[in-house]
A = this chain, B = another copy of it.
Amino acid sequence: MKYSDYKKLLKNHHLRITDCRIDVLEKFHSTDHALSFKDLEDELSDYDRVTLYRTLNSFIDQGLLHRIPNDSGMAAYGLCREDCTEEEHHHDHVHFKCNLCGHVECLPNYHTPVIDLPNYDIEESYLILNGVCKNCKEELQPVS
């Protein structure tokens, strides 16, 4: 994706075009896994921490990112590839966290199961898988 595409993306989500937002967007679009705040802070150290936090929050508000909670408490953030908007996010995909490399991945092709709980109203469901990712598995047992 190129600069003008990021500008369009920001405009479509009612966000002003700024250097920080472009750079953050670029980071997310040039990786295959979700990013944590720390990932961003490390790679975009010329921006203030507060600005990065506010950037993440405005992206979530406007439907560009979704927050992926995990056991450790330090959330990861994943790109919304579905058409999420300011009004609402709609995610029903599964997430995977690798116990070796720590990467969190969105699995858009796997949907969270629909479970019926008698006498309860279910509004959302989060399914998070843990284990060893493809990359780490290959490193452990290289293809023969």
Q: Determine if B119 and A134 form an interchain contact, defined as CB atoms under 8 angstroms apart.
A: yes
- Chain B binder among A49-57, A80-88, A123-131: A123-131
- Chain B binder among A5-13, A19-27, A28-36, A70-78: A70-78
A133 to B119 alpha-carbon distance, docked (Å): 7
Task: Choose among B123, B125, B134 the residue that contacts A120 (Cβ–Cβ < 8 A).
Answer: B134
A binding-site residues for B, Cβ under 8 Å:
67, 69-71, 73, 75, 94, 96, 99, 107, 110, 112-113, 115, 117, 119-134, 137
A124 to B95 alpha-carbon distance, docked (Å): 12
26 contacts between A and B (CB under 8 A): A69-B69, A69-B70, A69-B71, A71-B126, A73-B75, A94-B115, A96-B120, A99-B123, A110-B117, A112-B127, A113-B127, A115-B129, A117-B129, A119-B134, A119-B137, A120-B131, A120-B132, A120-B133, A121-B137, A123-B132, A125-B128, A125-B129, A125-B130, A126-B128, A126-B130, A127-B128
Q: Determine if A107 and B117 form an interchain contact, defined as CB atoms under 8 angstroms apart.
A: yes
A133 to B99 alpha-carbon distance, docked (Å): 32
Of A71, A96, A126, most buried by chain B (CB within 10 Å of CB) is A126
A73 to B36 alpha-carbon distance, docked (Å): 14
Task: Choose among B69, B96, B120, B126 the residue that contacts A127 (Cβ–Cβ < 8 A).
Answer: B126
A85 to B35 alpha-carbon distance, docked (Å): 34
